[in-house]
Amino acid sequence: MYSSRMSRYKHRYKEAFFLTHIKFNRKTPAAYDLLMSRRSVKARDMIGPGPDRAMMENILKAGMRVPDHGKLAPWRFMVLTGDDRKRLGDLIAAGLIAENETSEKIADKMKSYASQGPVLVIAISSPSAERPVPVWEQELSIGAACQNMLVAATALGFASQWLTGWASYSKTVTKGLGISPDEKIAGFLFFGDHGEKIPSERPRPNFDEHVQWGLPG
Ligand SMILES: Cc1cc2nc3c(=O)[nH]c(=O)nc-3n(C[C@H](O)[C@H](O)[C@H](O)COP(=O)(O)O)c2cc1C
C-alpha cells in the first residue's frame, strides 16, 4: 500500500518536474510531427528575403548542437548571401571550363546555381587526422549538423534544401573557397522563404525493407 502510493507520488512528481522545470529533452510531440512532415523545397522555388542574420545564427547554432565524438567540432560553415553567391556561381562556371567538364554555354548557365535561394550555407566537413576519433565518425557529425539545420529552418518557418552536385567535388571550386584537401563539402544548403509552389512529397522508403528487429538467423 505504502509503496504503491509512494510510486504514484514519485511518478506524479517526475511528471510535474518535467513539465515545469526541465529545459532539455522536453516531450514535444509537435517536433515529431515536424520531423515526419518536413519536405525539402527546391532552391529554385524559394523566394526572398529568407532568414536574416539573427535567424541564420539560430539555424547554425542548431547545426552545431549535434552528436560529436570527442567534442572536436569537426565542421565549419560558410554563409553566403547577396553578391557572394554570384561570385561562387562564377567560380563554378570557371571550374567547369578549367576541368573540361562542359561547354562555355552550359558553364554560363551554371553561373546561377549558387543564387537559387536567398541564403546559401556551404557545410564543410573539417576533420582532424591527429585525433583518435576515426575520420568517418567525424564526417558523420557534419551530416547530423546539416539535417539539424534543415529541421531548425523548417521549425522557424523557412524553406530549405540540401544539394551537392559537381561543384562540391571540384578542385577548382574547393580551392577557390579556401577549402583544404583534408576537408570536404558536405552540402550546399539553401534557405529561403516558401514561394507559391507547394513542394511535392517524394516516395518514402518501405519501412520493413530497412528494419530488422533482432539478430540475423
Ligand atoms: C548529401 C546530400 C546531397 C544531395 N544532393 C542533391 C542534389 O545535388 N540534387 C538533388 O536534387 N537532391 C539532392 N539531395 C536530396 C535532397 O536534399 C532531398 O533529400 C530531396 O530533394 C527531397 O527529400 P526530403 O523532402 O526528404 O528532404 C541530396 C541529399 C543529400 C543528403
Bridge partners of 135?
none
Q: Is the pLDDT of residue 31 over 90?
A: yes
Could you tell which of 110, 125, 164, 194 is best to mutate to test the pocket of ligand 1, judged by most ligand atoms within 8 Å of the CB? 164
Q: Is the CB of 163 under 6 A from ligand 1?
A: yes
Residue nearest to atom 20 of ligand 1 (CA): 40
Q: Is the pLDDT of residue 33 over 60?
A: yes
CA distance 147 to 175: 25
Q: Is the pLDDT of residue 177 over 70?
A: yes
Count CB atoms within 10 A of the CB of residue 115.
19
CA distance 117 to 103: 25
Q: pTM for the full model? A: 0.90
Q: Which residues contact 149 (CB under 8 A, 6 or more apart)?
A: 59, 60, 62, 63, 121, 123, 160, 189
Residue 1 pLDDT: 46
Of 77-86, 94-103, 169-178, 182-191, the poorest mean pLDDT is in: 94-103
Decide yes or no: CATH 3.40.109.10 for domain 32-197: yes
Residue nearest to atom 26 of ligand 1 (CA): 39
Q: Which residues contact 148 (CB under 8 A, 6 or more apart)?
A: 62, 63, 65, 66
Q: Is the pLDDT of residue 98 over 80?
A: yes
